A and B are shown apart, each in its own frame.
Chain A
Amino acid sequence: MNGALLTTTIGSLPKPSYLQKGRNEYAAGRLSREELSELERRATREVIALQEEVGLDILVHGEMERGDMVAYFAEQLDSMAIGGLVRSYGNRYYHKPVITGPLSWNAQMTVETWKFAQSLTDKPVKGMLTGPYTMVEWSFDDYYESRRQAVLDMARVIRREALELDRAGARYIQIDEPALHTRPDEDLEMAIEAVGIVSDGLSAKTITHICYGDVERIYPDMLRIPVQEINLALKNTDFRLLDLFRKTPFSMDLGAGVIDVHKHETESVEEVKEGILRVLEILPPERVTVNPDCGLKTRTWDEAAAKLRVMVEAVREVKRERGIE
């Protein structure tokens, strides 16, 4: 899809309460896999309907079938397992996945869900993958001798899944790498190489999402990540990253995060417009996609919907005022 200031979201949307309940029931063995899948399809229909109603340009399937972005893939790979509980912070714990053997792709993991979502709309739906560096970084590794070996093998696994999505017709493929800047001095080149293995020669437009932490530390090196667009959280640091882009031009397409996903309050249209205009001071509208900072899954359904409505309205006003087609 060509155009200026296209609107989209990062990937996850809140799970409706009936689905939350269904997931708990399934975990407790009181609901069958097929019954849960039916609830996931129902939620996906609602997610697509919401995005169409709000008027977004590029849709997501909302990740109704995913709990955690790493565990979802780990559960489906024969060479990974779901490990014991470790503490994330405070009284929060999660089952950290474990690499248990040589990583290899064994079956499609995302294509069926993508196809279902795409069948519900004429607008493009993004294919959503977790990137190889993040997959390894957020897992234990019982098998490999070095992180590099694990990351490159994981890249080949995610590459195969990307190809499956590409062949199925996905026009946008997003390779999320929120952990990419964990150890920039040691690992950034390896992470860039790994994302390159995934994105190489795909016909879809490729996107990556990096969030929070020291994004500054990997700029301008991040411009060498072999994708066409990077989604960045701008709003929650009050657009501080734009100062960096003034010093060294941002040479890719930018997915500009203009909505804070960690606040309950809905931004005003004026506030979001101002953010978009700040981005347009340094990049032409054809190179900017407008999105929230990060996935919306931690918001309520109503909060997410309200934030997206404001975002779309702000884009409409900016386009009207600036005469952007």
Chain B
Amino acid sequence: MLTTVVGNYPKIPNRPRPARLRNAINRFDRGEITLEELRRVEDEVTVEVIEEQVQAGLDIITDGQIRWEDDQTYIARRLSGVSIDGLVRYFDTNTYYRQPVVEGDLAWTGPITVADYQFASEHSPRPVKAVLPGPYTLARQSLDEHYTSLGDCVMALAAALRQEALALQEAGAPLIQFNEPSILKHKEDFSLFCTALAHAVEGVRVEKALYMYFGDVDGIYPAVLDLPFEIIGLDFVMGPKNFDLLGEARFTKRLGLGLVDARNTKMETVEALVDKVRIISDSVPLDNVHLSPNCGLEFLPREVAQAKLGRMVEAARRSQEVLA
């Protein structure tokens, strides 16, 4: 069993540790430091969160998306045809993001996350996975003022994100992940979703992961297993029904097992986590499991996120002892 995260990591620690990134962005906004100086702080904080993930004992890490304004903007504002508008709520959280507005033909104009991947990979003793928003979710989280249908917008984003995935592959990323929480809120679009994702990974020969969270896959399971991804990540915290679904149809892929609640500070006990892994082990061999939080860790204070990862790694170790 391997351990990993779903994407983002809290950007600033609490006192007594200094909120360096927050301060640097404030100083940059006031014109007190240069862009180069801000980039240096982003690099340093990225190294710091890589070290925290490694220290927690994770097998596969991310760069923590330290440079990302939110899950959409970082990618969307570098595509042509997009402008960034006002704040909207991110799902049912009390956090907000600036909504991308599609105003013209969407196109990929050059690598967006490749340098980030390379930097993280150079500074990590563990494999780094590259994480991107999926085309369906990015379209759903945007306001489309250009295309005549949702389908056209999703397919245009799929083509753009495919270019990014190919660039990441070229740069040596061993695993490329798409995050697609929105599909769980609009299962009626599943066939569009499948077409878009199939296009987005055309020609991507490295391992691919698809993570869906903030709900369960009732209604699209086991069909999701037919998608061209080696790893399918599911949320067992906000989608407890996923436990039952896995019992109903054989899980034929590797499972991204989202067990740790990344939206609440209450600490899971190792025993409770092992009990849940035990349920899953009836449907999926432990060797095929990537244990993780249910979604990105940014909803938590940094120290809580760190402590939860520690518990999770301990639970993975204990599960292998008890259930092997």
Q: Which of A's residues lie within 8 Å of B, judged by CB?
A: 83-91, 93, 96, 98, 137-138, 140-143, 179, 182-183, 213
Contacts and interface: CB of A to CB of B under 8 A. Distances in A.
B22 A89 contact: no
Contact of A83 (B26, B94, B301): B301
B119 interface: no
A7 to B, nearest CB: 28
B265 interface: yes
Interface string B82-110: 00000101001011111000000000000
Given A83-B265, A93-B12, A88 B301 contact: no
Contact of A140 (B12, B95, B265): B265
B25 interface: yes
B94 A179 contact: yes
Interface residues on B, range: 20 to 34
Nearest to B89: A213
A143 B303 CA distance: 18
B254 to A, nearest CB: 31
Given A89-B87, A91-B25, A91-B26, A84 B304 contact: yes
Contacts of A96: 301
8 contacts: A84-B303, A85-B12, A85-B14, A86-B299, A87-B11, A89-B98, A93-B22, A142-B266
A138 B94 CA distance: 7
Contacts of A142: 264-267
B170 interface: no
Among B96, B298, B301, max chain A CB count under 10 A is at: B301
Contacts of B14: 84-85
Contact of A141 (B19, B25, B95, B264): B264
A88 B22 contact: no
Given A91-B22, A93-B12, A142-B266, A85 B301 contact: yes
A141 B94 contact: no
B96 A89 contact: yes
B29 to A, nearest CB: 8
A98 B266 CA distance: 9
Q: Which 8 residue pairs of A and B lie closest in terms of their CB atoms, listed nearest first?
A: A84-B301, A89-B96, A140-B265, A91-B25, A84-B14, A142-B266, A182-B92, A183-B92
B69 interface: yes
Contacts of A138: 94
Contact of B94 (A84, A85, A137): A137
Nearest to B267: A142
A179 B299 CA distance: 17
A141 B264 CA distance: 7
B302 interface: yes
A85 B19 contact: yes
A83 B304 CA distance: 10
A89 B70 contact: yes
Contacts of A213: 89
B194 interface: no
B298 A87 contact: yes
Contacts of A98: 265
Contacts of B95: 86-89
A84 B302 contact: yes
Contacts of B265: 83, 98, 140-142
B237 to A, nearest CB: 13
Given A140-B266, A141-B266, A89 B97 contact: yes
